[in-house]
Structure 1
Amino acid sequence: MADVIGPRLYACYNCRNHVALHDDIVSKRFMAGHRQRAFLFSHVMNLVAGPKKDRQLITGWYTIADVECSDCGEVLGWRYEKVNEESQKYKESKTVLEKFKIVKDNW
């Protein structure tokens, strides 16, 4: 009998708390601070959003909230709360996680 394979997950690099499913990646072509690669996710889990703030990013001004692991409190990325530029609206209500702060789990 074959082993049942579950979904491919990403976890917090610090405590291994599951934070996202591989299937929920919208784009792998994002950049975080200091030219770090990042992924845009349509859905995330086990994260807590901080206060909303306006921040200038590479593609313009956004209202964002940093997101942290619900277990250890490590900031893993940010959530786009409000997007003003029409061409960037696809980012609204989605979350960016920095690649170096998440690890593959169940692959």
Structure 2
Amino acid sequence: MGLLFVERLEGEGVFRCRRCRVDAASKDAIISRDFYGRTGRAYLFDHVVNICLGPNEDRNLVTGLHTVNDIYCSCCQQILGWRYERAYEQSQKYKEGKYILERARMVKDG
């Protein structure tokens, strides 16, 4: 088995996987705090690290139909949220390529 490369984030306000505590995102990458996931409140980020993407899946979310990929912690495989691959409504296109991290699945340091 090979070595696992883990990217570390510097500074205060780092969001980490609740299960294994590996870095996932910086508070500086938050686009919006006004989102909800399967487990409650969630944040929209423009950049995350140490994740694996699941397969494309069409989901009918509150804001309409989207193609998304679930995202998993690269260390412990805990589901953390999802990535917006495609938005079908013009008003939702800003989400494409962005990430949702669910607060219940994260801890924040700093």
Superposed pair shares fold, TM > 0.5 = yes
Q: How many aligned positions are there?
A: 101
Give 3-state SS (helix, strand or coil) of 2:44's partner: strand
What's the counterpart of residue 4 of structure 2? none
Considering only CA atoms, is the larger Rg found in Structure 1 or Structure 2?
A: 1
What's the counterpart of residue 26 of structure 2? 21
What's the counterpart of residue 92 of structure 1? 96
Instruction: Show CA shifts across 1:24-50 (max 9, x none).
Output: 00000001125x000000000000000
Give 3-state SS (helix, strand or coil) of 1:97's partner: strand
Q: In the TM superposition, what is the alpha-carbon distance from 1:84 to its structure 2 partner?
A: 1.2
Give 3-state SS (helix, strand or coil) of 2:48's partner: coil
Which structure 1 residue ranges, 5 or more long, are not aligned? none
- State TM-score, norm by structure 1: 0.90
Moved runs in structure 1, 4+ residues, more than 4 A? none
What's the counterpart of residue 103 of structure 1? 107
- State TM-score, norm by structure 2: 0.88
Instruction: Show CA shifts across 1:40-87 (max 9, x none).
Output: 000000000000010110010000000000000000000000111110
Q: In the TM superposition, what is the alpha-carbon distance from 1:7 to its structure 2 partner?
A: 3.8
Which structure 2 residue ranges, 5 or more long, are not aligned? 1-9
What's the counterpart of residue 36 of structure 2? 31
